[in-house]
Structure 1
Amino acid sequence: MNIYEGQITVLLGHNGAGKTTTLSILTGLYPPTSGTACIYGHDIRNDIEGIHENLGFCSQHDVLYDTLTVEEHLYLSAHLRGCDNSTIEQQVERTLRKIYLHDKKNEYTKTLSGGMKRRLSIGMALIGDSKVLILDEPTSGLDPEARRQVWDILQSERQEKTILVTTHYMDEADHLGDRIAIMSGGELKCCGSPLFLKAKYGAGYLLSIVKQSSCSSEYVLKQVKRHIPNAFTRSDYGEEIRILLPLESIDKFGNLFEDLESNKISLGISSFGVSVTTMEEVFFQVSKQTNTISCRNRETRESRRKAIEQSRFTSETKVDHKQLRNQGFLFYRQQFCALMIKRYIFTKRNLIFVFSQIIVPIAFTLIALFIFHHLLNKNNSPDPRLDLSLKPYGKDLLITFSNEAEGWEKRQNTDQFIQSYMRQFDNKQVTPIEFNTSTGSYEDHLLKQIAIPHLFYFRLKSIIGLVVDTKSTPKDKIVSLRAYFQGESFHAAPISLNAVVNGFLQYLTSVNQTICPGLTTNNSPPQIYVSNQPLPETKEERAKQIDEIEGLMRVVVAGFPLASNILFAASYLASCFGFFPVYETVTKAKHLQFVSGVKLALYWISIYMWDMCIFFLSVGSILLCFMAFNLEQFALGERFHNLVILFGLFMWAVLPQTYLLSRLFRSPTSGLVWITAINVFTASIGLIMVGLLSHPMIHQQAVGVCLMYFWIAISPSFCLSHGIFQLFINYQFRQVCDSPLVQLLCLVDQVNACCLKTCDPFCAYWTSNELSYELGGVGAHLTALLIHGFLYSSFVIISDSSIGRNLKICLIILYRRFRYRHHNSELLLLNQYHDDLSFDDSNLPAEDVDVRQHRHLVESLPYARLREQTSLALCRVSKTYGSVNPRCKQGRKPAVDRLSLAIPPSECFGLLGVNGAGKTTTFRMITGDLEPSSGHIIVVGHDLNRNLRKAQQSLGYCPQFDALLPYLTGHETLQLFARLRGVHEGLLNTEIDQLLNDLNLTSLAHVLVSRYSGGNRRKLSVAIALVGETPLICLDEPTTGVDPISRRHIWDLLLKYRRQGRTLVLSSHSMEECEALCSRVSIIVNGRMKCLGTCQHLKARFGHGYSLNVQVMIPMVNHHLSSLNTEPTVSSTSSSCVPSVVISPHVPHQLSLINAVDNVDSFIKREFPDARLVDRHQGVLQYHLPTDGRNQVRLSHIFNLMETNKTRLGLLNYSISQTTLEQIFIDLIKLQEPVNQ
């Protein structure tokens, strides 16, 4: 196909048709497998760089930097494109004005709305004067007003550029496209102008008639068939009937409309209008002809067809919803099983996370026990034996000696002894120094030569010394030996004495070998070894040490690391159980389950029971670690039983506390981290404060005891960690204090820490019964944990119940009443109903007459009748976000403002409005996700203020953003919600299979939801809303991001359910969707209804005339017909359905075309003086014909006039349609105030 300069070419196709792949090839992201494409003479196969110089691309998702401003983004894009520095500033300014963001140029992109971000992405593609623009779904997810702004930008650029756009919005393709190409299965199926495609594939015109109470639909259809026999009824709901008029009978439309205009009163018609075939219908017909529907599962089509034929749910008759559901005990059992199966699947598919809940606590526990075991052995084991020698004192030691013996023989013997003495020392370690006593005594020499000059060296290196003397002995045969030692060195005395004894032993063995024959060896001389080992302490000695700080700290230091590490293990384990509730809350899956009828108690019981099982595994592993270390303080007998009780009650208390804390967080990961931090911080602060205040030096043990009780009352984690610490301390104190001698001392009133009556300032509290409430026992800890469990469980249930909702409202009322007494008129009223109130309408803004009449009807109906006659009723419902301070005007801006609405059964009601108008807030209030600030809501006879859960059981809900569980498959998801709604097990799979088939999800039934595309996730959300046969279905933008074929399937499915008697309430950005589905619509602006009625009624009341589209036939000569054959890549299917004037508009007779167009333009302006030319391009003229000008234009006159002059004017195609609902929407939403993004 060719894409022409000066045109916008729109590429359409279902999901997987090949649109994105085509764009990826054109932009160079993927290379083509075969074939090629040329962009301004540059081949994508070998000159992609040349293409990029002239190519602007806007991806489907915004690629923006949050911390860059709008202007900085454009400067960045301009520099990347290589724009001339001298012109960049001008280009940026010009682009800012093109995309209507000049006043936002200094704003960070993270502050922009979705529409602004899309305009910025388009601006980044525009800057640099790119010749080619490729835009992938540029308006995806935008409201109609924001889409119009994007359309204006593209149309302003159309004349100078070649633009290729993909979209899922058929009205966008119709509005923008000069040519529309439809793809399927990677092939081009057809290509042409919108008028040509509508003429070839369209079903014709849709005649919409608003009926009065006296109107008969059968009689109206009979009158229409008098003129057009092939006409048939498309739909007939409520006040509106829609009749399809075949296009081939267009020449008879004038007479038909003339007949209807002249007989409106007799036929009972309020108004009527026509709309031409939409591009949605064209797309569907093309896809139907090319067999694109259900092409993914051809092999299972027959089996699915048989299943659907056998299904009882295919009936379009009204059904009794209660008969399809379980009731009573069976219903509750089914819900409980569904919730447990959900948790089982989550556990099975997240084994790493579950293993971390077991392994991490075990790791912390093992670390704690290793440290504890080491410190305990160090404190309780006897001191080790110390071998006494000079080796620990290092090298370069001095050994001083002197020999004072007299006489030759004596001198010879003593010298031999000294040699034996010195032989026992290592020469590398010891340096011997001999003093000559003839000039002074040994002491004098020691002081003068060593001690005084080198005192520091003397104290460290002179450890022992020796003096041999015979003068002091009275008998000649006795030698005196004096062993000297350094008094400041530990163990120097026994080392010196042992050295003398060893020297003497070696002297004796060397003199006479027969003295000690068994001690002498050839390798080493005999030696005596000396060691020092203290005796073990007695209980009495340890009792005295408790009064000493050092002894007390040895006991405490051993227990504190154990308590701290167990605290870390327990805190992490507890926080893991907050991950799942936070995840379900953030994704809105929890709310969707409540909307599906889950009982509040069953929901939390199922979570609690499953978490308790995982907790038992983890705690059991921790207890096994205690048993493996065989610690007598914990793992033996009664003490182990007490430890098990402590952990068991901790489980009971900490799980509901974690569930309650999980409500504070909006991310599962942050919840896990912060809940761990909260538990660790609170308990650690308590342990430290209680421990410090109990220190003997501080003398504040009584204050520490009071703080202990305070922390016990508020923190389950403190109860566990301090309880373990208390069990250890009690055991240690009991071992010391529970002895007869200590008790005897206490009887005589001795002041001792073990004597609890006389201890001062520190008491070693202990008890023989560890479960007692005395200081030293853990009875208070266990009782507190038991109470914590009941309290936190109650808070969890209350916070999700209507009691919690009403309590919250009451607190707001009290806050306002006592702080802002002069603003009493603005206080909220709780449980006040409209039949008890006297409404004051004086402060209401101006209302449309239809809205005012409906509001008066709703507010005047008795409460009982509202419950009986409506599926959904809202009476003066308001919702205000922000500050509760009445003086804060900005904070009190209402998102929904006194909305009154009643929807009877079997109706499809549409809520329209821009982003921020209040649609989603209304849905959230209807489903119980938000509490109204005032007013009340009735859902299928149940008031939300009084009976929220029963009301939620009666409705199905598709939220704006998918509330899906990614770890489930599509089939498992529908099984979950079908069971929650009580569908009989025998009918469960049949209904699920039917829904999957109706929504083309059969091939994805057993694929994880996390792998679904956006469109398929949306279809699954719709299926959740439909499963279970609920009487009321609320759908918030159900088809956003869904391709046209799937969207049509959803429409057909919703219409079928409506025919079964179910009530539908939907919001949408697609006006075409509302016209196809809704019997009534309302456009909401600033939280209030601006209009109300059927689509045709709104067109008749707020429309401003008709839209006339004309395509002028281009003059041709014969040789131009060959242009069709010059298209190298057009398939035979495409060439057969597309005329050459559409595929190849480059004809030489431009003057003839201009003359033909001018001739048509003159004719239109002559016949319709008030006509306004909206667009003129490539032989296509678009006019707006107002009906409130000088000449009243009748529909019959327009058709008769155009059909009579069609041939004379040379018209190829023309279409006439009433003002569209979207045009009315655009006009009304101009009053919408900006929303803070």
Structure 2
Amino acid sequence: MTMYKNQITCLLGHNGAGKTTLISMLTGMIPASSGDATVNGLSLNGDLNEIRRSLGMCPQHDVLYTELTVQEHLMFYGKIKGYTGKALELEVEQKIVEVGLTEKRHVYSNELSGGMKRKLSLAIALLGDSKIVFLDEPTSGMDPYSRRSSWEIIMNNRYNRIVVLTTHFMDEADILGDRIAIMAEGELRCCGSSLFLKNRYGAGYNFSLVKTDHCNTPALIDFVQTHIGDDVKVLSNVGTEISFQLPLDCSHLFGKMFAELDLQLDMLGVLSYETDPTTDKKKLAGGGAYKLTDHAPSSPLTMFLIHFVALFKKRFRSAKRDKRVVIFGTVLPIVFLVLGIALLKGSSLNRNDPVIQLSSDKFPLKSDTPLPVLCQSDWLCDSVNQIATAKAQTFTGIESPVYPSSTPSVFGVQYANISGTDANGFCLRAGEEIFKRGYGKVDAPVQGQYGGYVLMGDSKTRSFGYNLAVNTSALHASIVYKAMMDEALYRTITSNSNVKLTCSDAPLPLTDATKIMFTTIVSFTTSVFVVLAFAYFTASVVPYLVNEKPPSHNSKHQQLVSGVSLPAFWVSNFAWDLLLYSVPCVFGLLAIYLFDITPFTGRECTSCTATPFAALIVVFVLFGFAIIGFCYVLSYLFVDSASSQTYIIMINVLFGTILMTTSVILDIMDSTKDINATLKFIWRLSPLFCVGNGLNSISLITIKIALGLLKKDTSAFSTSVCGWEIAYLAMEAVLFPLIAIGIDYALSFPKIKAKITKDPQVEDGPYEVDEDVQKEQDRVASGAADKDAVVMKNLRKVYKGGKVGVVNLSLALPKGECF
């Protein structure tokens, strides 16, 4: 097909006919599988960039920047199209005035109504000297007045341009299109002017009349047939409207019929009438009156179950598309539960340290560790030769005096008062020799040595002493090398080379106070990980509910007005969230049982009348019911689903981890124990505090019984353990869901909602009231319309900014009327 300059070509077709796909190919948004198109002689396949220099487009869905105002949008696109300075300002001002957005020029795009956004998109498309303009359903979402003003804008801007417009409204195509191309199933079915298509495919005229309550329908039908002929067909006669199909060739008879009809409106019972050409499409669509089939009303239980199943499936499909639900609802809680359980399982803080046998075998080279032995004389080395290992090296030759001066310089350090015969001088000289001779430098560096000996003695009295040099990086080196020397001396004295001395490190057992402290630390840390796990779970509950009720679409309201009951809505959501919670809950309980986390399984608590594991199961189960209801209540605080995910985690971490930490600190100090006991009754209103404090108490029951801090027959369900937490969770499991549903019920009553969100008082200015409007207001005010199906009396809405949306509307709609 060919599209011409100075003309508007309308692509007409139903949804899915291929209109948007065609425009997307012509603008280069998607590539064509085959074929080509030319724009002013330029090929779409080869000259797309050149074509785009003179192209304007209004897409089907608005592509606007939320951070830019109306004027900033036009300035931005004006600069892209090459406008600068005064020319840009004039072009932007002209388009703002032209599309009627003068009062909204400084308003951000996300604050505009749907119709205003379409106007802005239209202005962007027409901005500048675009030679070809594509408008994809430019008037969708506009009110009738805005549609007609947009039609005028489009028609006024067609000159010197090729305008291609898509629509599925026949009246819009009829008014705007110089040529109309009808598409169906991706194919072009016909193309031509409106008159050409009507003459070729038209089925006549559609003549519709609105009847009064006392309308004489047979007389009205006879009236039309008398003036037009027997070819008149009654298309529909439903409620207060009757429609006729009139032949295409009888338009010359309309004038006389309309003149007489105007004179007999009251007698025939007609309020108004209209006529318009119809096409084959309308002929096929209008087949006559529809008959409503009566169905037996379903029972409340049946309807509840139908709604429940449908809403539950909706949650399931939504979760499949949004992977964050799975991550926050199951994966992250399981990760934190694993960390907490691993910490409790692997911790050895509250266990006595084992006895450690000390020997040189603990060093990297074991018994081959280099061991320098420096002797003042040979007989000293012979005395202790039993100590020498395979790698040990000894030397002699340190004669007395060791230094010729009492102020020797060793490695650049000047020493004073060093005697040539005392131990200090000899030890200093021995250290110097170790480094100079590089003991162990072949097999192991000097720093690989962990101990050494410097022996001094008197050969006459056969007495000697020694200094032990120790590498302090080895924790037990001093003990090991002292034992080795003692063993060598004992072997020498007894002449028994089989003598073996051993030494060990046996730490003192933990005191009861230390055990309590260490167990408390580990149990508390584990409880923190559990609280964090379930805090992340809440991030899968709240965002979905918040996303159901944003002002932009409010799908929850749509479901409720479509017949869904509040119990069905909340119970289906509760069932899904409970199912999601059961995954980390069951995983955590199974992990604790299978890995035998004894503080929770209670297998070491042989005297407990109720096992800690049974209490743990009850806490976990009740917590699921309580935390879901708690999240439902908190969901009313948010309007943005993205931010709610972050804030709900922060809130629950605050109510769980921080409160629990504060409680533990207060419980440690004797001066604040009583205050903490009182505060717990308030803090237990948080389900996360209950589960954290409950787990902490359960994990300590075994050791407290063993140390006599609790009686041996103490039950895990007693108030001294986690009885209060279980009681609170049971109460919250019922209370919080009821509060959430109660708030929803309260907000469903307009009077209550109006008091919560009170609108400002605004005085109305003087305005003229149409005669028919006044009659309708008087009819409603007098009570004559009380039996009508819908009655509106002085309906009014004032927004927070003071803008009056609805001004004292009084209107009544009788049953059977399509308003």
Same fold, TM-score > 0.5, yes or no: yes
Q: Match for residue 908 of structure 1?
A: 818
Task: Using the TM superposition, give the Cα deviation of residue 683 of structure 1 relative to its aligned residue in structure 2, in angstroms.
Answer: 1.0
1:542 matched to 2:516: no
Q: Match for residue 303 of structure 1?
A: none
Given residue 724 of structure 1, which amino acid in structure 2 is its aligned partner?
Answer: L
Task: Using the TM superposition, give the Cα deviation of residue 650 of structure 1 relative to its aligned residue in structure 2, in angstroms.
Answer: 1.3
Q: Match for residue 250 of structure 1?
A: 251
Q: Residues of 1 paired with 2:545 and 2:431: CA distance?
A: 78
Given residue 785 of structure 1, which amino acid in structure 2 is its aligned partner?
Answer: L
Q: Residues of 1 paired with 2:363 and 2:563: CA distance?
A: 80
Q: Match for residue 1012 of structure 1?
A: none
Q: Residues of 1 paired with 2:775 and 2:364: CA distance?
A: 106
> Once the two structures are superposed, what CA deviation does each residue of 1:403-437 show, in whole Å capped at 9, x if it has no partner?
5xxxxxxxx6544124444557745xx99895748
1:589–1:113 CA distance, 2 compared to 1 (3 A): closer
1:784–1:471 CA distance, 2 compared to 1 (3 A): farther
Q: Residues of 2 paired with 1:212 and 1:358: CA distance?
A: 63
Task: Using the TM superposition, give the Cα deviation of residue 686 of structure 1 relative to its aligned residue in structure 2, in angstroms.
Answer: 0.8
SS at match of 1:908: coil
Gaps of 5+ in 2: 403-418, 433-445, 604-610
Q: Match for residue 563 of structure 1?
A: 527
Q: Match for residue 416 of structure 2?
A: none
> Once the two structures are superposed, what CA deviation does each residue of 1:613-634 show, in whole Å capped at 9, x if it has no partner?
4433431210111123212211
Q: Match for residue 1055 of structure 1?
A: none
1:793 matched to 2:766: no
Given residue 626 of structure 1, which amino acid in structure 2 is its aligned partner?
Answer: I
Task: Say if 1:463 and 1:492, in contact at 8 Å, map to a contact too.
Answer: no
Task: Using the TM superposition, give the Cα deviation of residue 387 of structure 1 relative to its aligned residue in structure 2, in angstroms.
Answer: 1.9
> Once the two structures are superposed, what CA deviation does each residue of 1:183-239 show, in whole Å capped at 9, x if it has no partner?
334444333333343344334444455656665222232233223212233444566
Q: Match for residue 708 of structure 1?
A: 680
Given residue 279 of structure 2, which amino acid in structure 1 is its aligned partner?
Answer: V
Gaps of 5+ in 1: 294-307, 309-313, 404-411, 473-478, 520-526, 739-753, 755-764, 817-822, 828-840, 883-889, 910-1237
Q: Residues of 2 paired with 1:676 and 1:317: CA distance?
A: 54
Task: Using the TM superposition, give the Cα deviation of residue 262 of structure 1 relative to its aligned residue in structure 2, in angstroms.
Answer: 5.5
Given residue 770 of structure 2, which amino acid in structure 1 is its aligned partner?
Answer: D
Task: Using the TM superposition, give the Cα deviation of residue 77 of structure 1 relative to its aligned residue in structure 2, in angstroms.
Answer: 3.7
> Once the two structures are superposed, what CA deviation does each residue of 1:422-466 show, in whole Å capped at 9, x if it has no partner?
557745xx99895748977644536886999xxxx9xx9987544
Q: Match for residue 601 of structure 1?
A: 567
Given residue 900 of structure 1, which amino acid in structure 2 is its aligned partner?
Answer: S
1:705–1:530 CA distance, 2 compared to 1 (3 A): farther
Q: Match for residue 150 of structure 2?
A: 150
1:692 matched to 2:636: no
Q: Match for residue 500 of structure 1?
A: 485
Q: Residues of 1 paired with 2:568 and 2:272: CA distance?
A: 53
Given residue 694 of structure 2, which amino acid in structure 1 is its aligned partner?
Answer: G
1:574–1:236 CA distance, 2 compared to 1 (3 A): same
Task: Say if 1:421 and 1:500, in contact at 8 Å, map to a contact too.
Answer: yes
- Picking from 596, 606, 623, the partner of 1:650 is 623
Task: Say if 2:451 and 2:477, in contact at 8 Å, map to a contact too.
Answer: no
Given residue 503 of structure 1, which amino acid in structure 2 is its aligned partner?
Answer: A
Task: Say if 1:398 and 1:433, in contact at 8 Å, map to a contact too.
Answer: no
Q: Match for residue 726 of structure 1?
A: 697
1:738-757 equivalences under 5 Å are: 738=708
1:482–1:706 CA distance, 2 compared to 1 (3 A): farther
1:284 matched to 2:281: yes
Q: Residues of 1 paired with 2:79 and 2:688: CA distance?
A: 58
1:1141-1220 equivalences under 5 Å are: none
SS at match of 2:157: helix
1:774–1:601 CA distance, 2 compared to 1 (3 A): same
Q: Residues of 2 paired with 1:103 and 1:608: CA distance?
A: 46
Q: Match for residue 660 of structure 1?
A: 633
Q: Match for residue 620 of structure 1?
A: 586
Task: Using the TM superposition, give the Cα deviation of residue 351 of structure 1 relative to its aligned residue in structure 2, in angstroms.
Answer: 8.7
Task: Say if 1:401 and 1:435, in contact at 8 Å, map to a contact too.
Answer: no
- Picking from 629, 652, 663, the partner of 2:595 is 629
1:916-935 equivalences under 5 Å are: none
- Picking from 697, 720, 723, the partner of 1:779 is 723
Q: Residues of 2 paired with 1:419 and 1:139: CA distance?
A: 107
Task: Say if 2:487 and 2:500, in contact at 8 Å, map to a contact too.
Answer: yes
1:443-462 equivalences under 5 Å are: 443=423, 445=425
Task: Say if 1:178 and 1:193, in contact at 8 Å, map to a contact too.
Answer: yes
> Once the two structures are superposed, what CA deviation does each residue of 1:316-362 show, in whole Å capped at 9, x if it has no partner?
445544x2x32255555555555556556667887994586444333
Task: Using the TM superposition, give the Cα deviation of residue 566 of structure 1 relative to its aligned residue in structure 2, in angstroms.
Answer: 0.8
Q: Residues of 2 paired with 1:564 and 1:659: CA distance?
A: 23
Task: Using the TM superposition, give the Cα deviation of residue 766 of structure 1 relative to its aligned residue in structure 2, in angstroms.
Answer: 8.0
Task: Say if 1:727 and 1:770, in contact at 8 Å, map to a contact too.
Answer: no
Given residue 173 of structure 1, which amino acid in structure 2 is its aligned partner?
Answer: A
- 1 or 2 for the larger relative contact order (CA 8 Å, sep ≥6)? 1
Q: Residues of 1 paired with 2:111 and 2:458: CA distance?
A: 101
Q: Match for residue 639 of structure 1?
A: 612
- Picking from 752, 758, 783, the partner of 1:861 is 783
Q: Residues of 2 paired with 1:497 and 1:594: CA distance?
A: 86
Q: Match for residue 769 of structure 1?
A: 714
- Picking from 650, 673, 676, the partner of 2:649 is 676
SS at match of 1:65: coil
Task: Using the TM superposition, give the Cα deviation of residue 660 of structure 1 relative to its aligned residue in structure 2, in angstroms.
Answer: 1.9
Q: Residues of 2 paired with 1:238 and 1:334: CA distance?
A: 32
1:874–1:199 CA distance, 2 compared to 1 (3 A): same
1:681–1:902 CA distance, 2 compared to 1 (3 A): same
Given residue 333 of structure 2, which amino acid in structure 1 is its aligned partner?
Answer: P
Q: Residues of 1 paired with 2:791 and 2:463: CA distance?
A: 119
Q: Residues of 2 paired with 1:705 and 1:461: CA distance?
A: 55
1:895 matched to 2:813: no
Task: Say if 1:18 and 1:185, in contact at 8 Å, map to a contact too.
Answer: yes
> Once the two structures are superposed, what CA deviation does each residue of 1:1102-1126 show, in whole Å capped at 9, x if it has no partner?
xxxxxxxxxxxxxxxxxxxxxxxxx
SS at match of 2:805: strand
Given residue 709 of structure 1, which amino acid in structure 2 is its aligned partner?
Answer: F
Q: Residues of 1 paired with 2:99 and 2:808: CA distance?
A: 36
1:873–1:469 CA distance, 2 compared to 1 (3 A): farther
Q: CA RMSD in A?
A: 4.5
1:1043-1058 equivalences under 5 Å are: none
Task: Using the TM superposition, give the Cα deviation of residue 143 of structure 1 relative to its aligned residue in structure 2, in angstroms.
Answer: 1.9
Alignment coverage as a number of residue pairs: 773
1:248–1:350 CA distance, 2 compared to 1 (3 A): same
Task: Say if 2:788 and 2:814, in contact at 8 Å, map to a contact too.
Answer: yes
Given residue 246 of structure 2, which amino acid in structure 1 is its aligned partner?
Answer: L
Task: Say if 2:236 and 2:289, in contact at 8 Å, map to a contact too.
Answer: no
What is the percentage of aligned positions where both structures have the same residue?
Answer: 29
Q: Residues of 2 paired with 1:136 and 1:326: CA distance?
A: 44
1:330–1:111 CA distance, 2 compared to 1 (3 A): closer
1:482–1:495 CA distance, 2 compared to 1 (3 A): farther
Task: Using the TM superposition, give the Cα deviation of residue 484 of structure 1 relative to its aligned residue in structure 2, in angstroms.
Answer: 4.2
Q: Residues of 2 paired with 1:213 and 1:104: CA distance?
A: 45
Given residue 851 of structure 1, which amino acid in structure 2 is its aligned partner?
Answer: V
Task: Say if 1:484 and 1:496, in contact at 8 Å, map to a contact too.
Answer: no
1:324-343 equivalences under 5 Å are: 325-327=297-299, 329-336=301-308, 338-339=310-311
SS at match of 2:6: coil
Given residue 531 of structure 2, which amino acid in structure 1 is its aligned partner?
Answer: L
Task: Using the TM superposition, give the Cα deviation of residue 718 of structure 1 relative to its aligned residue in structure 2, in angstroms.
Answer: 0.9
1:20 matched to 2:20: yes
Given residue 501 of structure 1, which amino acid in structure 2 is its aligned partner?
Answer: D
Q: Residues of 2 paired with 1:591 and 1:40: CA distance?
A: 51
1:214–1:870 CA distance, 2 compared to 1 (3 A): closer
Q: Residues of 1 paired with 2:74 and 2:747: CA distance?
A: 53
Q: Residues of 1 paired with 2:121 and 2:316: CA distance?
A: 44
1:74–1:426 CA distance, 2 compared to 1 (3 A): farther
Q: Match for residue 607 of structure 2?
A: none
TM-score normalised to the size of structure 1?
A: 0.55
> Once the two structures are superposed, what CA deviation does each residue of 1:839-883 show, in whole Å capped at 9, x if it has no partner?
xx9999654343343334334439xx94xx33333334434443x
